[in-house]
Amino acid sequence: MNMLRVFGIVMLVIVFSSCVRNKSGVPVQNEVPANANVFEVKEVVHGSTYTYMNVKEGMAEKWVAVTKQDVDAGDVYYYDNELEMKNFHSKEIDRTFDIIYFVSHISKTPMAQAPQNPMGGMMPGMGGGDMAAHSGRVATEEHNEISLEKSGNEVTVAGVFDNRDSYSGKEIEIRGVVVKVNKSVMGKNWIHIQDGTSGSDGSYDLTITSQDVAEVNDEVTFKGKITLEKDFGAGYFYEVIMEDATLVATSSTVNL
């Protein structure tokens, strides 16, 4: 009988250990994937757009940001792929992070990992949660009705892509019509312009980052530096992008 009692106690310990509950009551079970991303929230700071969390993952602590939502210290979350940003300054909470990781979704239950999809709908340049990697040819609709008359010395979108090596690292001005805007993402506004021209590789849409704001349908002129092969990590890559641009002029509004 003593042996049976010992055996029974051992079995109870095994069953109990296989379903330990964390502080938030989420069971950690054997069927959780070995490569699951999971962290415990230690501190929460809410901004107007994002929720910033100091979390513990394994033995390490780090800062994570996700689209604003209700999160409490002590909660345990699973998350999908992350995008690392260094020296990131959040204007909404006026804080600079040496390193912070942006994730698109968090869940109290395990989720399937989504390769090459670190930011879901939060990332600039893509709409509706579409996160296909950029390769210079942006997944933005081409507006064939746009046709701007330009003088011989004006830079065109086609010219930027076809002569990218000549423009690399240089500050230029370019005029176009705004076809898409993502505001206040990673501390910048992300603006897509088209002018009715397309490069030899079919590229017709130039992405611009700026602290200035432009609206869809505006005909605008921006001045900024052309950067080639800009890699934000996790497969999010631009062959050509204009960075830290200044809005020089808004001349008219076009109905697209």
CA distance 55 to 66: 12
Give residue 2's pLDDT: 55
Instruction: Summarize the chain as % helix, strand, coil (round to 5).
Output: 10, 45, 45
More confident residue, 249 or 19: 249
Q: Closest Cα partner for 176 from 249, 76, 91?
A: 249
Indicate the residue type of 140: T
Give the H/E segment covering residue 16.
helix 2-17
Q: How confident is the model at residue 5 (pLDDT cuts 50, 70, 90)?
A: low
Burial of 199 (0-12, 13-18, 19+ CB in 10 A): buried
Give residue 33's pLDDT: 54
Mean per-residue pLDDT, 34-47: 87
Quick check: helix, strand or coil at residue 161? helix
Q: Closest Cα partner for 222 from 188, 256, 180, 192?
A: 192
CA distance 252 to 157: 19
Whether residue 247 has pLDDT greater than 80: yes
Q: Which two tokens stand for residue 165?
A: 């090596």
- Asked if residues 131 and 95 have their Cβ atoms less than 8 Å apart, the reply is no
More confident residue, 149 or 11: 149
Mean per-residue pLDDT, 198-212: 93
List the domains of the chain with CATH numbers.
20-115 (2.40.50), 157-253 (2.40.50.140)
The pLDDT tens digits for 178-189 are 999 887 777 788
Give the H/E segment covering residue 89.
strand 82-90
Give residue 112's pLDDT: 59
Whether residue 194 has pLDDT greater than 50: yes
Mean per-residue pLDDT, 195-201: 94
More confident residue, 103 or 168: 168
Whether residue 206 has pLDDT greater than 60: yes
Give residue 126's pLDDT: 38
Mean per-residue pLDDT, 216-235: 86
More confident residue, 46 or 141: 46
- What average pLDDT does the structure give for the chain? 78
CA distance 88 to 98: 7
More confident residue, 22 or 83: 83
The pLDDT tens digits for 104-138 are 788 888 865 444 333 334 444 433 333 333 333 44
CA distance 55 to 70: 15
The pLDDT tens digits for 52-76 are 999 999 889 999 998 889 999 999 9
Give residue 26's pLDDT: 44
More confident residue, 160 or 102: 160
Give residue 91's pLDDT: 85
Q: Which two tokens stand for residue 5?
A: 């009692």
Considering the entire predicted model, what is its pTM?
A: 0.54
CA distance 30 to 33: 8
Q: Closest Cα partner for 203 from 154, 239, 161, 155?
A: 161
Maximum separation of any 2 CA atoms in the chain, in Å: 98
